[in-house]
Structure 1
């Protein structure tokens, strides 16, 4: 847990961010101003940060399906989120506090569905699309959703007594082979209104329930507010982008991580959409398809987890992967071995590799690495995000520990989950 702070053990400037009297670590980054309006919710905030004027003739898409190249522009995204939100309110009475269960794989439609639920005032509960019938039934009992948005294969796993179910397509481009199963979903999109409905929710209201395995016992539901998600957009995604000279709108991200998880959700269904970056969506990770997508769409940024790093290294060893267009690879969600890091850097020397740390309970906000031409620390998960504070606590004594110590990491800040 102390990995993010270890540099401080031999750093004279440690006193600038560590208070021995309070046992408190503060971010070395200047504070980032967050919206003060208590009535603000996530969706209007995202689109207020994204210029939506007339797009240049060759403006890059906002979302792009890796398999079919079906895409959505920024204007398409706003129109579809607004339209679907109004349809959810009109046809299914989704209002403030209504829980909507999303049992969906990665797709161009996932961010639209997620944001539309929030824009309608509802609470989005995302779930692993690979869940078993028993796991889905347990989630239905636990959250009592008023509506389920599901893919056809997952709808077949729902019990007969489940809430109303609407099947969601992977893209918004109808194909000749598409049947009538998606007709109810398309009927929700019959509104051309560009404005979001008045959802009557604000920053302190629940926006999402994400389940985290924690360290032991049953999986636990983490309630995230609109304030938590807004903080995530500003302190994680937008702040990181601000540290680089390259314009964020020039970046192309490969969404190989699952969007039901806080790591993928924070990036691909929220934060990056506020920056104008292009998100290339993979339904699920396959190393061959990922390599082809990187080449085809000139992907510049690849957030991943250790198993994906290992798969890319194996592909490199067979000569199947050079990943020439990649500018940065970032790893999170699980610890990395030093050998894997060094092997990856050796195999892909042109790539800027960083690590980060965050939890579902902290809305993916925690620490983030940053390399410069003179200073590179690939093994570190980086420094505290802006506006965040931390303690390192000895579990036996309960005492706060100084830099260089090992203990349990406690985080405090605007991204920390809502207490129930």
Structure 2
């Protein structure tokens, strides 16, 4: 008979957060911007441009948000219209975002490196009233018939330049004329695009209530676990603000705490190190490629200011964690887990003197519940057993935009089917092993690509690696390894296959090896396996 504990019920199969529940605001007419600015703190600098040093103080922030909100209203932007932010990280990104939300507009943030065919496709059926982008992309957006505003890279811009005249008008608008619409917590605040739990890109509907939950259950709760005041923390913003990870933490939650956010416009290893040293960065949210870069370039640099490095968006392989702990033995390392569909609320790591589970993505956030179900039968599984992770709680999206079928297949009876393979250990810590859709089915056996990648990366001559399944007439699918060799390496396909044959079960063996110059990844560091499959087929 299964044993129950206070955080897992053998009767219902539900895992509950081990943390105390947090009472969320009950006022239905509360918007996330009012909620953020209702919190007092002693923070001074809000956003700092890493390369120029140009900054926005917390005193200036509220006035700038009100001015831009007033200007948007003057431009004819009203409640329910969509404001497109097509920007890399930029100190004006948070101002545009908060200003739009404060007047009831809906923000959609896209990767500026996307092709304009992709952008056009994602904007179909959206009522986009205005777009904010860099001068470089201005004409392309205008050709889509969307009113566009060029945004400068920092505050030291020439306001007399014609290209920035519209943006300057917004900054100089009268903050006292800001409209104050009635906004409900159930109103849509943001539309973020995700590949979802089933592959194709979908618009995720995020409400003001979802974002309020993110501020409380993710960002403010985590800060409450530590003794030092949050407004003393300095964060380095290298992860993209247009991604839910960056948006939830760097653009939304931390503003309520008064922390300083140092903004990197473009990621480079040199700028990362320079920013950490110059601004004495204490907290560094990363994704695996950035974490790997930090380890690689540490050298003799003075990075003693770092207190915590966190990693999210995609699981971190054990070797990378071990390398980090060896390079930064005094820095707290944690992982977290969340999806666009959960508004980044899910789990968060927390280390104590007695418990340090670096390979785990942590404990369930307050107010969150989970199930782990057998992928074939749907039966709920107890701790120690892997299956598909289901989540329920106040961060769960409203649904997918104009896609009732996808919403219905993803959210069932209030439970979000994440598509991630996971298990809880006996202490309630969660471990993510792979994506359900990425599992390779070799002769009926299920093979997790992440398991093979963890073995392969331990081979010294391999710099980077990814594994995916490629169709095979006899086996159904075969595991194919895409390998980036270290410079000067004479590693062969046979070497890789032989190495793996001694490390894994026969059905898990890598059957083919493709050498590549790089592994394609998303802005959040996730391996783009569909691209690998196409590339692999062309090379085989």
Give the TM-score, by structure 1 length: 0.91
Q: Which runs of 5+ in 1 are unaligned?
A: 1-8
1:306 aligns with 2:291: no
Q: Does residue 218 of structure 2 align to residue 236 of structure 1?
A: yes
| CA gap 1:190/1:60 in 2 versus in 1, 3 angstroms | closer
- Say whether the 8 Å CA contact 2:70–2:174 is kept in structure 1: no
* 1:411 paired to 2:401: no
Name the SS for the 2:5 alignment partner.
helix
Pick aligned residue for 2:116 from 109, 133, 158: 133
**Alignment counterpart, residue 254 of structure 2, candidates 258, 272, 280:** 272
The CA deviation at 1:218 is 2.1
Which of the residues 124, 127, 130 maps onto 1:147? 130
Distance 1:321 1:186 in 2: 39
1:210 to 170, 188, 192: 192
Q: Indicate if the aligned counterparts of 2:372 and 2:380 stay in contact, CA closer than 8 A.
A: yes
Q: Which residue does the alignment assign to 1:46?
A: 36
1:72 aligns with 2:56: yes
Bigger Rg over Cα: 2
Q: CA deviation at 1:120?
A: 1.5
Cα deviations by residue, 1:335-392 (Å, 9 ceiling, x for unpaired): 1111110110010111000000000000000000000122211111100000001111
User: 1:161 deviation in Å?
Assistant: 3.6
- Compared with structure 1, are the counterparts of its residues 131 and 324 closer, same or farther at alpha carbon in structure 2 (3 Å cutoff)? same
Gaps of 5+ in 2: 401-540
The 1:196–1:228 alpha-carbon spacing in structure 2 relative to 1, beyond 3 Å, is farther
User: Of 45, 62, 65, which aligns to 1:81?
Assistant: 65
Deviations 1:133-178 (A, max 9, x none): 21122123242412111111222332624211111222233348x7
Hey, what's the Cα distance between the residues in 2 that align with 1:227 and 1:357?
Answer: 20
CA distance in 2, matches of 1:78, 1:90: 18
Q: Quick one: which of 208, 216, 220 aligns to 1:226? A: 208
Q: Distance in 1 between matches of 2:29 and 2:118?
A: 35
**Runs of 4+ deviating beyond 4 Å:** none
Tell me the distance in 1 between the aligned counterparts of 2:134 and 2:7.
Answer: 48
Q: 374-383 or 344-353: which moved more?
A: 374-383
In the aligned structure 2, how far is the partner of 1:144 from the partner of 1:218?
21
- Which string of whole-angstrom CA distances, capped at 9 and with x for unpartnered residues, describes residues 103-137 of structure 1? 01101000001111101210000000111121122
Aligned pairs for 1:63-212 (under 5 A) are 63-91=47-75, 93-158=76-141, 160-175=143-158, 179-193=161-175, 196-212=178-194
If asked which structure has higher relative contact order (CA below 8 Å, sep 6+), I would say 1
State the Cα distance separating 1:195 from its structure 2 match.
7.8
Report SS of the residue matched to 2:162. Answer: coil
Kept after mapping to 2: 8 A contact 1:258/1:284? no
- Sort the Cα spacing of 1:194 and 1:331 in 2 relative to 1 into closer, same or farther, 3 A: farther
Residue 251 to residue 195, structure 1, CA distance change in 2 (3 Å): farther
Q: What SS does the aligned partner of 1:237 have?
A: helix
C-alpha deviation, 1:199, in angstroms: 2.4
Provide the rounded CA distance (Å) in 2 between the counterparts of 1:29 and 1:216: 31
State the secondary structure of the residue aligned to 2:131.
strand
Greater Cα shift, 190-199 or 104-113: 190-199
How far did residue 267 of structure 1 move? Answer: 1.1
- In the other structure, the counterpart of 1:288 is 270
State the secondary structure of the residue aligned to 2:35. Answer: helix
Would the aligned equivalents of 1:79 and 1:194 in 2 still touch at CA under 8 Å? no
Per-residue deviation at 1:185? 1.1
Give the length in aligned residue pairs.
399
TM-score by length of 2: 0.72
The residue that corresponds to 1:36 in the other structure is 26
Q: Is contact 2:8–2:15 with CA below 8 Å preserved after alignment?
A: yes
> Cα gap change, 1:320/1:396 in structure 2, threshold over 3 Å: closer, same or farther?
same
Secondary structure in 2 matching 1:270: helix
